[in-house]
Amino acid sequence: MTLFSPESDELSRASASAAEPWLSLVGLGEDGRAGLSPDALAALEGAELVYGGARHIALIGPVAGEAAPWPQPFRNALPLILSQRGRKVCVLATGDPFHYGIGAGLAKALGPDEMRIYPQLSSFALACNRLRWPQEECGRVSLHGRALERIIPFLQPGRRMLALSWDGSTPGKLAELMSARGFGASRLVVMEALGGPRERIRECKAQAFDLGTVDPLNLIALDLVAEREARILPLASGLDDDWFEHDGQITKADIRAITLSALRPRAGELLWDVGAGSGSVGLEWCLRNPGNQTIAFEARPERAARITRNGSTLGALRIEVAIGTAPASFTGRPVPDAVFIGGGITESGVFEAAWGALKSGGRLVANVVTLEGEARLAALYAAYGGTLRRIGVSHLDAIGSMHGWRAAMPVTQWRVVKP
């Protein structure tokens, strides 16, 4: 048997060449070409097409191939790149392409052998090195292209946070928000154009922000200090009712905590909150994990507007409000991992439509306070199984010059898992 021949070696090389990635993803720092490894530089120079932001293209200077800035709107970028499959293409990204970068989108669209990646340090990594902060001890959030209120759940005393800015106005706006919430004494460090010749690092107290003009390319580091009366979001479920704007139509804090426990949220899951009222259950579902989402179904427009405002003030949470009557408003919605029915369980077709939409293994929880609601849950329990419980809560209240226990209306709760 022949173990080696020039012909077989040539075929092997041809096969390897055919499998060579056509796309190179190159992380770029503010030092431009100077920070690229020899392999990354070779990928850049060997490309027929180079895509990147206007800033990236300016940083690398002239290239052998054609340099093209991103199309507008940016959502057209991925189809444009994929249309060049088979040519030598280089895509420029900032720092680590898989840290709030284009890398994730490309990885979903390309096979593992189609792309070679040359990353650099992310701005978060650079910031931690400049400040001598261990990365594992820092919270991280992106405010780039996102609502400033996203920072709110991360404002915890004694914590260190790193936030990517949207533009040069972000640090001042963030300082104002923090001061209003009782975090004005916090150290705020603005880090501009990290890793390049224009790098600048300045700091102040949030309540005394006076840094003037800030480069649009900046990152904010926070060493958080809370005042005694600071507005701090607790990490446990069952927020006090005054965290929510409401008209009395709200699942009260004690019952809400028990309801969240019954729903058993997991990371990245979607909840349908039916008859949402103030949206309190769905909003707390979102607070359990940054990847969690809620669709809140509410028939009354004024309540729907309150849900949206509550979502913003609690941290620009991922809640979508569907205005309309259930079950008609369920049509076309994504499959939920869990369903909470806080209102409407006695209405025709609401349970059946929600149960039909719920995925296998999903959880459904319904709360009622009326006799008619209890009768409905008893019938559903008999037909579908699950667990039933009645929850009674009493609070201390003044009785003249003395005190006594005042009972709230008992809540009957049904929980069931779909087979």
| 174-186 pLDDT tens trace | 999 999 999 999 9
How confident is the model at residue 346, as a pLDDT? Answer: 94
Q: What is the mean pLDDT of the chain?
A: 93
What confidence category does residue 350 fall into, taking pLDDT thresholds of 50, 70 and 90? very high
- Once rounded to an integer, what is the mean pLDDT over residues 63-67? 94
Burial annotation 197-214 (CB, 10 A radius, 16+ → b, else e) = eeeeeeeebbbebebeeb
The pLDDT of residue 389 is above 60? yes
Structure tokens at 152: 């709110």
Predicted local confidence at residue 75, as pLDDT: 84
Query: What percent of the chain has a predicted confidence (pLDDT) above 70?
Result: 95
Instruction: Read off the pLDDT of each residue in 382-395 and give the average, rounded to a whole number.
Output: 97
Q: Say how far apart CA 190 and CA 177 lie, in whole Å.
A: 16
Please compute the mean of the pLDDT values over residues 202-230 and round it to a whole number. 97
In this model, does residue 36 exceed pLDDT 80?
A: yes
What is the structure's pLDDT at 5?
Answer: 43
Report d(CA 252, CA 237) in Å as an integer. 11
Q: Are strands 160-164 and 138-142 parallel, antiparallel or unpaired?
A: parallel
Q: Would you place residue 10 in the very low, low, confident or very high pLDDT band (cuts 50, 70, 90)?
A: very low
> In order of start, what are the domains of the chain with their CATH numbers?
21-120 (3.40.1010.10), 124-223 (3.30.950.10), 241-417 (3.40.50.150)
Has residue 13 got a pLDDT over 60? Answer: no
Looking at residue 94, its pLDDT comes to 94
Percent of the chain at pLDDT above 90?
A: 92
Over residues 45-64, mean pLDDT? 95
Looking at residue 174, its pLDDT comes to 98
What whole-number distance in Å separates Cα of residue 314 and Cα of residue 311?
Answer: 5
Q: What average pLDDT score do residues 21-33 get?
A: 95
pLDDT, residue 410, reads 95
Residue 320 confidence (pLDDT) above 80: yes
pLDDT score at 379: 97
Provide mean pLDDT across the span 50-74.
92
pTM for the predicted model, two decimal places? 0.88
**pLDDT value, residue 19:** 65
Q: What is the mean pLDDT of residues 366-387?
A: 97
| pLDDT (average), residues 404-414 | 95
pLDDT of residue 372 exceeding 50, the answer is yes
Residue 1 has pLDDT above 80, yes or no: no
Mean pLDDT of 137-159: 96
pLDDT: is 379 or 11 the higher one? 379
Q: Is the pLDDT of residue 386 over 90?
A: yes
